[in-house]
Amino acid sequence: MEKLTLVKVGGKIVEEPQSLKQLLSDFSKIKGYKVLVHGGGRSATALAAKLGIESKMVNGRRITDEETLKVVTMVYGGLVNKQIVAGLQAIGVNALGLTGADMNYMRSEKRPVKDVDYGFVGDVKEVNADILADLIGKGVVPVLAPLTHDKEGNLLNTNADTIAGEAAKALAGHFEVTLMYCFEKKGVLTDENDDESVISNLTPELFEKYVAEGVINGGMIPKLENSFEALNAGVRAVVITRADLIHTDGGTKIEL
């Protein structure tokens, strides 16, 4: 199978013209087939504020009422996604911006109300990777916005990390997939105060050892558990790194 790199970047880096330009340049240098998944939360919060809509977050997730859904549809599906697509086209990358509704590539269901009513937020139920894989094989580079749909006419807000993980797992049937999560550090650190203490390679055994020793802790644990889940579902490698290192061998590489 051919190699495919799926890169997930957060909102901040794609929301400022200078950092976006650098990111797209770095992304274009990745060899082989590729997919980009983006956030856009800061722009959504900013637009909502201008429109007098309060942004409510619970556990880091946006409560998405009807008006907020319109805001994220405009910002994620329109502004951020299309600026990335146009920026990639300018440097010769044949980008195609998609929400889950487009070609029904990712279907979700509205999250059931338990302790929290998240509103129009979707949990992924089905990924149709065939048509994506076909386009990728023709040189198209999908740019995935953090929006899905329920195939009943409703768009749903879906976390970009989730979109990345689900797309990577589904594409693993067609490609040898490396899933790359970008965050603000160079990788998983053994010492949070030392940015150079990057763990280059992580296995399930090493992960358990580091957790037992308290070297890996806090929010990094669920992030890595999700990574192992993707690996168990067929993704070849997960890399956790900083956005400016995506075209290098830097960061923490996680393999089974």
Our CB check for its own copies shows the closer of 7 and 24 to be 24
204 binds its own copies (CB under 8 A): no
Which one of 90, 116, 221, 256 is in contact with its own copies (CB under 8 A)?
A: 90
Question: Residues 6 or more apart from 188 whose CB is under 8 A from it?
Answer: 198, 199, 202, 216, 220, 224, 240, 252
Count Cβ atoms below 10 Å from residue 109 Cβ, excluding itself.
16
Could you tell me if 169 and 226 are in contact, meaning their C-beta atoms sit under 8 angstroms apart? no
Our CB check for its own copies shows the closer of 15 and 181 to be 15
Our CB check for its own copies shows the closer of 102 and 166 to be 102
**Choices 83-91, 201-209, 213-221, 242-250 (CB under 8 A): range interacting with its own copies:** 83-91
Which one of 56, 61, 151, 247 is in contact with its own copies (CB under 8 A)?
A: 151
CA–CA distance, 225 with 216 (Å, rounded to integer): 12
Could you tell me if 27 and 247 are in contact, meaning their C-beta atoms sit under 8 angstroms apart? yes
Size of the site for its own copies (CB under 8 A): 40
Known binder of ligand: residue 250?
no
Contacts 24+ apart (CB under 8 A), 182-186: 182/7, 182/8, 182/9, 182/10, 182/13, 182/241, 182/242, 182/243, 182/246, 183/10, 183/240, 183/241, 183/242, 184/242, 185/242, 186/241, 186/242, 186/245, 186/250, 186/251
167 binds its own copies (CB under 8 A): no
78 binds its own copies (CB under 8 A): yes
Q: Which residues within the stretch 99-118 sit at the binding site for its own copies (CB under 8 A)? A: 99, 101-104
Known binder of ligand: residue 40?
yes
Q: Closest distance between its own copies and the C-beta of residue 93, in Å? A: 10
Q: Where is the binding site, in residues? A: 40-41, 62, 157
Residue ranges in contact with its own copies by CB under 8 A:
47, 50-51, 70, 73-79, 81-83, 85-87, 89-90, 94-99, 101-104, 131, 134, 138, 140, 147, 149, 151-155
